[in-house]
Structure 1
Amino acid sequence: MAQCNHLFIEFNNKIKLKSEKKKSLRKSRNALRTKIQSYFDNTLEVSNPKFWGQGSYMMNTTIEPIEGEYDIDDGIYLVHLSSKKEEEWPATSTVHNWILKAVDGHTSTPPVNKNTCIRIIYKNDYHIDFPIYIKGDDADHPKLAHKTKGWIDSDPKALTNWFNDEVTVKGDQLKRIVRYLKAWKDFKKGDDKFPSGMVFTILAANYFIEGYEDDDDAAFVAIAKEIYNNLNSSFSLTRPVFPDEELLADWSETAKTNFLSKLSTLVTNGQKALEKDKQSDASDIWIKIFGERFPKPNPPEEERVNKGYAFQTSTPAVIGNHGRSS
């Protein structure tokens, strides 16, 4: 069987957020933080908020989009309200307006007042989302300022910490698997509904398969199969930390069926790639899965020793589970 792990590592290096871009994003984020702090200092005349990065940027699972914008999230924590009781907090529309006014004019595109955040758009490049939180002094978790629902339970720090703990146990391969899933979505999505990056992150961690540390191609297919089997059995996913909400509740039956069909095809085609004798033949299949960003091999081609973990069965394709599901 063709050994394609090094092609996956090359693909990972191509799609992951580059250090130069990360510096640029951090510079823009910090400039916005300074503007917001200045507004709280000079206009509101209250203590500066604190900031906490969240999402894929902090988990180091961001990928370069094929087209469109990078997305980074930076939580704003209103510490000057921490000592007040929730009934004394301002309306969520009020705190949204504070941030809108603080960042207005920073870019040529006006900021967007979304339900869960204020979005600042750097045209044709990236956007930064600022969700707004208050964590009461006696509270275990913060609450998010939702424009229409009011103050709702949310704790993005807990999710980041949970994922980092998962990586500590399972290794950096978990981060790469998340990037591969996102890259597959980026190439295949079109107008169809796919899970969010956060959902893919949780799925990859929940259904991680051990035993393929040096075989990202086999690991990717094995984990995709484990995800398929579980979602096909019960299309459900609970957030692993507070608030323990159901994350797939808003999916229609049609959307579920369409996504599961795509996931089954991914597993089947990935299985076929694993069984190819030549890297070039396997790479051709991976390119159909991920797009032209996936690399072609350079000769000479190495052969994978048959470890007995890849075998063909009826649809959907199956990866022999010689590791255990975590």
Structure 2
Amino acid sequence: MSIQSLFQRFHEAIKLKRLDENAELVEKRDRIIKRLRDNLPRSPSFEVFNQGSYAMGTGIKPLNGDYDIDIGLLFDVSYRSYSPVEVKRWVYKAVSGHTTRVEWRRPCITVYYQQAGEAIYHVDLAIMAKEPYSNTLYLALGKEHSAKEQQEWQPDDRKGFIQAVESRFAGEDANQFRRVIRYLKRWKDVHFSSEGHAAPTGLSLTVAAYRWFQPTKAGYYDTSYDDLAATAALVSSIRRSFSQTWDTSLMRYVPRLSLQFPKAPNDDVFARMTNQQMQEFSQSLDQLSGWLDEARRTNTSAPLVRAFGKDFPSQ
């Protein structure tokens, strides 16, 4: 069996459909939206939209079984008229008691669905407002009791990024683009802790693919797609984009990758990673590159099982 056919089987094993194609997740989302509409005042109104990997078609099955659903709530209010914590409080009060666990986090309100004490789904509600007479959206940042200087309406064009990903490639090129993003996400889940900021986020890997991915086929005359070569090329581009940064605590240069989100807020998607975490990320990319090269050289799947975990099929 060819390596490409193994990648295709692997993709089928790990992929998640878009949110609206998954009846169970749609039911969880719609229950929360109904709760919001029943408990929020009729004015101001709000718009609901899907975001995150489900909206972009890049979702994968979580190793820990905790499915993450991202929902945007866009309120028809001027961000200049209300504090971000005030608007988030409307949402928090409306969904409190919907499940046994609802958390107020700095970027969102999170509703957890649990089974036998373990989270099986959680829904992140990102609360937004807009600039009157323009299309600029602002994300409410701040915890419940944050000081005013820690509250912020941050410009946020998640919708624009979803649309940019949708239009980045077309046809089968777009399908390979999404497959490779899913491969890197599963590699990340297998080789990094889910706690803290030790791992690159799924969003940061998606932005990296948006920046550097190129569709790759088997050869000049062979128009079949080569996912191994496409993944290896993307990993190589990411590795080449690291620069050396001076770390005063270590008193030496360390590798660091900076990558700007292509839409507002135009921040560095790797900013939360410490220099130590970034160095481990760089070393892990080197290791992944070695496995991909070995798989190409030997035409075997064993290095790919090491890279992507047990869901990657053996020969």
User: TM > 0.5 between the two?
Assistant: yes
Identify which of 253, 258, 271 aligns with 2:280: 258
CA separation in 2, counterparts of 1:210 and 1:25? Answer: 31
Structure 1 residue 48 displacement after superposition: 2.9
Bigger Rg, which one? 1
CA separation in 2, counterparts of 1:181 and 1:51? Answer: 29
- Say yes or no: does 1:214 pair with 2:225: yes
Q: Is the 8 A contact 2:70 2:125 kept in 1?
A: yes
1:50 aligns with: 47
Using the size of structure 2 for normalisation, the TM-score is 0.84
2:251 aligns with: none
- What code does the residue aligned with 1:120 have? V
CA separation in 1, counterparts of 2:24 and 2:73? Answer: 20
- What code does the residue aligned with 2:84 have? T
1:313 aligns with: none
Structure 1 residue 137 displacement after superposition: 2.6
The RMSD of aligned alpha carbons is 2.0
CA separation in 1, counterparts of 2:127 and 2:63? Answer: 29
Q: Is the 8 A contact 1:51 1:75 kept in 2?
A: yes
- What code does the residue aligned with 2:32 have? L
Q: Is the 8 A contact 1:50 1:78 kept in 2?
A: yes
Structure 1 residue 57 displacement after superposition: 0.9
1:155 aligns with: 157
Q: Is the 8 A contact 2:71 2:126 kept in 1?
A: yes
Q: Is the 8 A contact 2:17 2:59 kept in 1?
A: no
Show the 5 A alignment for 1:302-317.
none
- Say yes or no: does 1:185 pair with 2:177: no
Aligned length: 283
Structure 1 residue 67 displacement after superposition: 1.3
Identify which of 93, 103, 122 aligns with 1:101: 93
Show the 5 A alignment for 1:1-326.
3-18=2-17, 22-40=22-40, 44-79=41-76, 81=77, 84=78, 86-87=79-80, 89-107=81-99, 109-123=100-114, 124-147=119-142, 148-168=150-170, 170-190=173-193, 193-212=198-217, 214-232=225-243, 235-277=257-299, 282-297=300-315
- What code does the residue aligned with 2:213 have? F
Whichever structure has more strand as a proportion of its residues is 2
Instruction: Name the structure, 1 or 2, with higher relative contact order (CA <8 Å, separation 6+).
Output: 1
Tell me the percent identity: 28
Structure 1 residue 247 displacement after superposition: 2.1
What SS does structure 1 have at the residue aligned with 2:107? Answer: coil
Q: Is the 8 A contact 1:162 1:241 kept in 2?
A: no
CA separation in 2, counterparts of 1:13 and 1:207? Answer: 24
Runs of 4+, deviation exceeding 4 Å = 18-21
Structure 1 residue 68 displacement after superposition: 4.1
Q: Is the 8 A contact 1:75 1:132 kept in 2?
A: yes
For structure 1, the 5+ residue unaligned runs are: 298-326
CA separation in 1, counterparts of 2:311 and 2:134? Answer: 46
With 240-249 and 3-12 compared, the bigger mean Cα shift is at 240-249
CA separation in 1, counterparts of 2:18 and 2:87? Answer: 33
